[in-house]
Structure 1
């Protein structure tokens, strides 16, 4: 008889614990399901910022021939020089030009600006530019994407623009 009471008590205890656990799970579930959902405003700065990595090398090449962004977006562009040659012989930069800029005339002006990293003193044709970098170096710039349209970008180191150029497309 004593053994029967222990078994009955243990069985009742086990069933009680199982019911309590089951009830608690249901209650938690109900609370989660019935909890009000807060409306949140998305972080506009995150949506309005795009990070771009543009790589250049010792073969006078960018790894991107087109870059797509949205009008008014904050652009964080990092130019990496993945080569090993020094800036004096194989320097690279990124220069984003205003629409309608004549590339040959711009390159002619840039070629005369060696002391300024091949960026002309008159920057009226430039929207944004990195500094001139050599092998293993990088530079990051931040700027606002201009109005919708297609813009040219290039490396202004003498002779590079003929192959180191691309389109910056603003949607």
Structure 2
């Protein structure tokens, strides 16, 4: 009996890593207005996805702050434009903007923030863009997010 239980435990332990999806990503922004990645992929088995944003620079957020904002690609420019008027105190994201799927707060050099969002907000085949909505950054600090098939 003990051998059967031990064998079953061994089998389940061996299969767990293969089943576990990577449901998080870490992205870095720096003082040169750059993200360290241009693409993220969310595994379709993830029910939630977490993005960790790290600012590897030294400048304060008022001078070179970064956030991570996710929208449908078609909504990027409008969200960025509206975010400029929202200001730093609102993390350059218009309050209650339905076009924003997820966003972090604005962080300065040496700071970090994370956001977790429900992946049911993503649709297969839709184009998604992440970007920094700090004024002047959104055209350069941008990338794509895809839902795996």
CA distance in 2, matches of 1:144, 1:99: 18
Aligned residues: 137
Match of 2:123 in 1: 147
Whose relative contact order is higher, 1 or 2, with alpha carbons under 8 Å and at least 6 apart? 2
Match of 2:143 in 1: 166
RMSD between superposed Cα atoms in Å: 2.5
Q: Is the 8 A contact 1:72 1:144 kept in 2?
A: no
Match of 1:79 in 2: 53
State the TM-score, normalized to the length of structure 1: 0.71
1:58 aligns with 2:31: yes
Deviations 1:80-133 (A, max 9, x none): 0000000001000000003531x3222210000113010111321111100000
Match of 1:104 in 2: 77
Point out 4+ residue stretches in structure 1 off by more than 4 angstroms.
Answer: 41-44
* Structure 1: gaps spanning 5 or more residues: 1-31
State the TM-score, normalized to the length of structure 2: 0.81
CA distance in 2, matches of 1:91, 1:105: 20
Structure number with greater Rg is 1
SS of the residue 1:112 aligns to: helix
Q: Is the 8 A contact 1:92 1:156 kept in 2?
A: yes
